[in-house]
Amino acid sequence: MKFVSEFRDPEAAKILIAEIEELAADQPARKFMEACGGHTHAIYRHGIESLLPESIEMVHGPGCPVCVIPMGRIDDAISIAEQDGVTMCCFGDLMRVPGGSSTLLEAKAKGADIRVVYSPLDALAIAENEPDRNVVFFAVGFETTAPSTAITVMQARERNVENFSIFCNHVTIVPPMKAILDSPGMELDGFLGPGHVSTVIGTGPYQFVSREYGLPLVTTGFEPVDILQGVAMLLRQLAEGRAEVENQYKRVVRDSGNPAALRMLGEVFELRPHFEWRGLGFIAQSALSLRDEFAGFDAEKHFALPGVRVADPKACQCGEVLKGAIRPWECKVFGTACTPETPIGTCMVSSEGACAAYFNYGRFRAKKRIPVTST
């Protein structure tokens, strides 16, 4: 339990809460964005928002890779899966993500061969074991999961597995952060920087947050003490008039990232000219596609796709949640028409979605301060 239990220590948390209260007392109200869906779930699972002073507001960013996939891309995946001889492989939380008129789960129920896998290598194994099927892996995720897709494509080429391809929806973290900062009316005082993504890309890519926008960013882990320490570090920077990129998650994240993973990403992928994000629209160079030398494994080059842009349901406000403009409980269908059993938007479906976090952990209304006393 080393490097876990000490970051769940109640006494350490109480010390940090006292420090946060002291720092916040001398500052105006602050709004911090956690850029990672894993942070959102940790904050609400552990009730951290109820331990923070009323003057500190935590808002959600576009850090859930499933949540940001637009409905049109789900329709594209379904169209591939419904073709003869195709086996579509995907992660479990993609199965119930709504498309324009259906989901992958519904397509499976109607006869499409759609299988849940735990990694792209599982999909590659299926392709090798079933050479008469065209096996397509629905690849999603930020830079965190893209290396596993890259190494799978490299192995497919080495093994000459010609019936394997990927439907690539990998996205990158920096462009949407910049898009949010450029959004009209968006006022933030700092970021809890992504933990998982940073294990791959390091902390250097976030320098633009402090350099161009004058805001502090602290790359943070996912345990309660991690998050509390990240908030304290942000407040300390603001109290001292600093705006820097700091690394709280040093036990996992290196400032330079993972060189081997970055090399693989550079070898296999290139940036797309543009890609649509749910709630943020089209963002230039914010997603990955396969380089020409790996075109044989690109499902978008093998299959004709509808490629239709589908507007979100009018009742769904996932886009506003992903931009941090509203809290999930402020959406008019949250917890009523939209639940994990009957999701209207992706934020209620994904295991990292903000709406799912609020619903599962009972955060249906504005936070109520819970006093913390030492024993």
Helix (H, G, I), strand (E, B) or coil at 108: helix
Over residues 148-167, the mean pLDDT reads 98
Write the single-letter amino acid at 171: V
Phi, psi of 220 (to 5 degrees): -135, 145
What CA–CA distance (Å, rounded) separates 145 from 129? 24
Does residue 163 sit in the same domain as residue 99?
yes
Domain count, the chain: 3
CA 365 to chain centre: 23
In-domain check, residue 29: yes
Q: Percentage of the chain surpassing pLDDT 70? A: 95
Same domain, 213 and 348: no
- Tell me the range of 2-11, 28-37, 97-106, 256-265 where mean pLDDT is highest: 256-265
Whether residues 31 and 115 fall in one domain: no
Amino acid at position 246, single letter: E
The CATH number covering residue 190 comes to 3.40.50.11750
Is 54 in the same domain as 196?
A: yes
Mean pLDDT is highest, among 44-58, 234-248, 277-291, for 234-248
183 & 60 share domain: yes
Tokens of residue 150, six digits = 């890259």
The reported pLDDT for the residue numbered 358 is: 83
CA–CA distance, 49 with 40 (Å, rounded to integer): 10
Pairing of strands 281-284, 274-277: antiparallel
Contact between residue 63 and residue 219 where contact means Cβ atoms under 8 Å apart: no
Q: Given a cut of 80, is residue 42 above it in pLDDT? A: yes
Do 235 and 205 reside in the same domain of the chain? Answer: yes
Q: Does residue 78 sit in the same domain as residue 168? A: yes
pTM score: 0.90
As beta bridge partners, residue 246 has 218
Q: Are the beta carbons of 47 and 366 closer than 8 angstroms?
A: no
Asked whether residue 80 is domain-assigned, the answer is: yes
Q: 373 lies in a domain?
A: no
Domain identity same for 196 and 327: no
Q: Higher-confidence residue: 375 or 15?
A: 15
Q: Kindly state whether residue 255 falls inside one of the protein's structural domains.
A: no
- The 10 Å Cβ neighbour count of residue 41 is 22
124: nearest Cα among 148, 96, 145, 103:
148
Note whether 282 and 137 are same-domain residues: yes
Instruction: Identify the pLDDT of residue 19.
Output: 97
Does the residue 257 lie in any domain?
A: no
* Torsion sign, CA atoms 141, 274, 217, 345: negative
Domain span holding position 97: 71-173+269-302
309 inside domain = no
Tokens of 296: 């044989």
Length of the chain: 375
Of 350, 366, 286, the C-alpha closest to 318 is: 350
CA torsion 366-314-101-166 (nearest 10°) is -70
| Residue 38: inside a domain | yes
First to last CA, the chain: 24
Percentage of residues in the chain having pLDDT higher than 90: 67
Average pLDDT over residues 90-109: 93
Residues 120 and 131 in one domain: yes
Does residue 200 share a domain with residue 137? no
Rounded CA separation 265/151 (Å)? 9
Q: 33 and 85, same structural domain? A: no
Any idea what the CATH number is for the domain that residue 286 is in? 3.40.50.11740
Final residue belonging to a domain, choices 247, 277, 292: 247
Q: Reply yes or no on whether the pLDDT at 222 is more than 90.
A: yes
Based on C-alpha coordinates, what's the Rg of the chain? 21
